[in-house]
Structure 1
Amino acid sequence: MRAVGIVLAGGNSTKMKELSNKRAIAAMPVAGSYRSIDFTLSNMSNSHVQKVAVLTQYNAKSLNEHLSSSKWWDFGRKQGGLFVFTPTITYDNSWWYRGTADAIYQNLSFLKNSHEPYVIITSGDGVYKMDYNKVLEYHIQKKADITVVCKDLPAGEDASRFGILKMNEDHRIEEFEEKPMVAKSNTVSMGIYVIRRRQLIELIEKCALEGRHDFVKDILIRYKGLKRIYGFKTTGYWSNISTVESYYKTNMDFLKPEIRNFFFHQYPDIYSKVDDAPPAKYNVGSKVRNSLVSNGCIINGQVENSILFRKVFVGNNCVIKNSIILNDVYLGDNTHIENCIVESHDTIRANSYYSGDDGIKIVLEKNERYVL
């Protein structure tokens, strides 16, 4: 493909509360065995984008470990590959990334040393499937300066946490407002952009000279009347996991057969780093209904409408309903978990009761499991 990829994965969201205390949003576990960034990287690989840069910053340890080998997404090539960039103190610069445009500016040598004519910029917190070739073809057909991939949200869904845009009959963007107080439209930006490489370098360098650091506010919104910026509307499944509620909903969507079939059984595939573990074990007396249970789990109790990530131990007489249990959690006997997200590596003492009666409850317990 005639494009390089840039994945913006360095941001943090306070709306994720305690879930983002120890990991980047792009490293959030999804659907039992995946990380959020797996969907973007798989889309890049499936679209034959051979050279991809991931820009990380906030709580990057877990994400960097996940990206330690490029072979899982088939980026281990002699030409191209997967590159992970973190903020680096140099003679000329000692700043952290001050925004998305600044993150690209601090790694501008990646673009200058590339030869592909186009750049695909994406975020690392979206769950979706997409062929970026179709977006690039549309971009070339429209003779656009920048193409923004967008989607109409269902009626009733809050659009104010996204970039809101309005297009004319030719799909040229006339209005673009980032996270408004009141959304005037239900058409939102998916955080996926296509732009010519040389033009991106020029715009990023101009932003840096003017002390501007945000790609959306300082390029998309600022230049919407000067540049030919078009919207590419898609109708497929897409979810952004920047809040606790959206993260919970996204995972619960995978309990629907049509969503599982779309991501797990329809070509192209979604890839992730493989963690070797034995198959899940269901002991005598266990009951599991409409749930995703990952490898390495041991089930002794009742699990219903829930997602269990790798290496979860469910004790005797436990009840888990409508909940997400992250990696390596130990649930002591007679524990009741309902409408909750249990943080990874937690040890829940026996006879505990947690229920999210007024919303989704995040459970954090760091007990020593060997003294139970």
Structure 2
Amino acid sequence: MKALGIILAGGNSTRMKELSKKRAIAAMPIACSYRAIDFALSNMTNSNIQTVAVLSQYNARSLNEHLNSSKWWNFGRKQGGLFVFTPTVTSENNWWYRGTADAMWQNIDFLKKRHEPYVVITSGDCVCKCDFGPIIDYHIQKQADITVVCTKAPEWDDISRFGTVKIDDNGLISNFEEKPMIAHSNIVSTGTYIIRRRKLIELLEQCNAEGRYNFVTDILIRYEGMKKVYGYMLNSYWSNIASLNSYFRTNMDFLKKDVRDFFFAKEPKIYSKARDLPPAKFNQDAKVRDSLIGSGTIINSVVENSVIFKNVFIGNNTVIKNSIVLDGAYIGDNVRVENCIVESNETLLSDTSYVGDDQIKIVIENNNRLGI
């Protein structure tokens, strides 16, 4: 492939509330068996991009453990591979990543040593499925300096947390606003960009020399009108999970057959790190409807319209509705959980109730499971 990949996976989001205290956003669990970053990695390998760098920083341990072998995404090659870069203290630099442009600049030697003419930059916190090949062809055809992959914002999402763009009839981006208070367009950037490798190196070095560290504000917006920035419209499913509401809605979308079929029944595949677990077990009193159930889970009662991840135990006379239960949770007897996200490895004691009314409730109890 004539491009290498960079996945930006170092950021934090206060919109995720307590869920981001123990993991990077890119490591958030999705659809029972996946992490958010699996979608970006799968898009890379399915596009025949053989060299990919993941730039991680905030709460990186869980993410780095997930990426401990490149074989799951077929990056284990002699010519290329999967590289994970965290901030490194050197004699010349002791900064953490100060922004997306700075993260790439601190690893600029990686870019300089490569030979691929193009770079695909994408985010690790988006759920989508796309082939980067036609986007690169579009970039070349337009003779663009930068191509921004765009889509229409989901109607239910908060558009003020995205970068919004206006695209003319020729595909040229005429206006780019980063997280506007009042949006003048419903077309948003997906956080995926195509740029020539040498052009990226030039812009990163110039930004750093001027004390500028953000790729969007200090390159895309600052050079608006000076560089040819084109928009490529993505017309398939896309969601950014970096808010509590969006994370919940994205997981619930996988209860829809058309969404599941798009990601998992149609080629190319979405890959993830495999775990050897037994199938889910449904005991005599289990009643499960319109739900996804992960491997290793044991269910003894009612589950409706919910996503239950791996290794979860659900006790007797318990009701779980419209909720997400993350890996390893233990839910006792006579428990009610509705409109909630139960954090991984949590213990919900018997005879308790957790209900989110006006908004989704995050359940973190820190109970001692051995004390039940």
TM over 0.5: yes
Which contiguous aligned blocks of 4+ residues in structure 1 show a shift greater than 3 angstroms?
154-157
Tell me the SS of whatever aligns to 1:160: helix
Tell me the SS of whatever aligns to 2:188: strand
Distance 1:271 1:33 in 2: 10
CA positional deviation for 1:168: 1.4
Distance 1:181 1:154 in 2: 17
Question: Could you list the runs of 5+ residues in structure 2 that have no partner in the other structure?
Answer: none
Tell me the SS of whatever aligns to 1:176: strand
Letter in 1 for 2:357: D
CA displacement 1:14-67 (0-9 Å, x = unmatched) = 000000000000000000000000000000000000000000000000000000
Aligned counterparts, 1:43-58, within 5 A = 43-58=43-58
Tell me the SS of whatever aligns to 2:53: strand
Letter in 1 for 2:304: E
Distance 1:89 1:23 in 2: 22
CA positional deviation for 1:112: 0.3
Distance 1:282 1:168 in 2: 55
1:162 aligns with 2:162: yes
Distance 1:196 1:244 in 2: 35
CA displacement 1:254-274 (0-9 Å, x = unmatched) = 000100111110000000000
Aligned counterparts, 1:13-32, within 5 A = 13-32=13-32
Letter in 1 for 2:370: Y
CA displacement 1:309-365 (0-9 Å, x = unmatched) = 000000001100000000000001111000000000101100110000111000002
Aligned counterparts, 1:212-223, within 5 A = 212-223=212-223
User: Share of identical aligned residues, percent?
Assistant: 63
Equivalence for 1:226: 226
Letter in 2 for 1:196: R
Tell me the SS of whatever aligns to 2:98: coil
Distance 1:6 1:153 in 2: 24
Equivalence for 2:61: 61
CA positional deviation for 1:158: 2.8
2:157, 2:246 within 8 Å by CA — same for their partners in 1? no
Task: Give the superposed CA RMSD.
Answer: 0.7
Equivalence for 1:365: 365
Equivalence for 1:251: 251
Equivalence for 1:187: 187
CA positional deviation for 1:153: 2.2
CA positional deviation for 1:155: 4.6
CA positional deviation for 1:366: 1.5
Equivalence for 2:287: 287
Change (3 A) 1:106 1:272: same
TM-score (norm 2): 0.99
CA displacement 1:143-181 (0-9 Å, x = unmatched) = 000000001125564311100111111110110010000
Distance 1:273 1:341 in 2: 23
Equivalence for 2:242: 242
Tell me the SS of whatever aligns to 2:159: coil
Tell me the SS of whatever aligns to 2:203: helix
Distance 1:171 1:49 in 2: 25
Distance 1:34 1:68 in 2: 15
Aligned counterparts, 1:1-372, within 5 A = 1-155=1-155, 157-372=157-372
CA displacement 1:112-134 (0-9 Å, x = unmatched) = 01000000000000000000001
Distance 1:269 1:199 in 2: 32
Distance 2:283 2:168 in 1: 60
CA displacement 1:48-98 (0-9 Å, x = unmatched) = 000000000000000000000000000000110000000000000000000
2:151, 2:188 within 8 Å by CA — same for their partners in 1? yes
Tell me the SS of whatever aligns to 2:103: helix
**How many corresponding residue pairs?**
372
Distance 1:257 1:31 in 2: 13
Question: Could you list the runs of 5+ residues in structure 1 that have no partner in the other structure?
Answer: none
Letter in 1 for 2:8: L
Letter in 1 for 2:349: R
Tell me the SS of whatever aligns to 2:260: helix
Distance 1:186 1:80 in 2: 38
2:164, 2:179 within 8 Å by CA — same for their partners in 1? yes
Bigger Cα displacement from structure 2, 196-205 vs 150-159: 150-159
Letter in 1 for 2:308: L
CA positional deviation for 1:369: 1.0
Distance 2:326 2:155 in 1: 31
Letter in 2 for 1:311: N
TM-score (norm 1): 0.99
Distance 1:62 1:155 in 2: 32
